[in-house]
Structure 1
Amino acid sequence: MIEFKLEGEYIPLIQLLKATNLVQTGGEAQIVVSEGDVKYNGQVDYRKRLKVKKGDVVEFNNQKIVVI
């Protein structure tokens, strides 16, 4: 499990995937989101510009990111 400390109100989902080094580029992040490989709070989510906030949980590639 990865704990990501949020600075500010939110972080876009694609930036979160890059910041936690689960993807190498923004383009790769967009692909995995659009293919339905990312779960947001337990549900598959296809929104690339999703605003992830404190308390949210993102799952990708058998990794869980908890935003604190």
Structure 2
Amino acid sequence: MQRIDFDLDREHVELNQLLKLVGIADSGGQGKAIVASGEVTVDGVVELRKTAKIRAGQIVRVGDAEIRVLGVEG
């Protein structure tokens, strides 16, 4: 499994933008399509809201990638 640590520098990031920022999606639109496909889980639960607010401490999984969202303190 590919593990990605994402340092969040604000209160939250929208899910489709997170996928873009870590390189899983080439664009926000592609990120929305990935979320809509049902392939994304947040903290183990399928997330279908494309602009769900992802905060520090959450874990997002897409395929074989796991994204750990870290706060500014890590």
Bucket of the pairwise TM-score, normalised by the shorter protein = over 0.9
What is aligned with 1:61? 63
Structure number, greater radius of gyration: 2
Please state how far the C-alpha of 1:21 moved relative to its aligned partner.
0.1
Please state how far the C-alpha of 1:49 moved relative to its aligned partner.
1.1
Deviant stretches of 4+, over 2 Å: none
Gaps of 5+ in 2: none
TM-score by length of 1: 0.95
The Cα RMSD (Å) is 0.6
| Number of residue-to-residue matches in the alignment | 68
TM-score by length of 2: 0.88
Gaps of 5+ in 1: none
SS of 2:67's partner is strand
What is aligned with 1:15? 17
1:36 maps to which of 18, 38, 42: 38
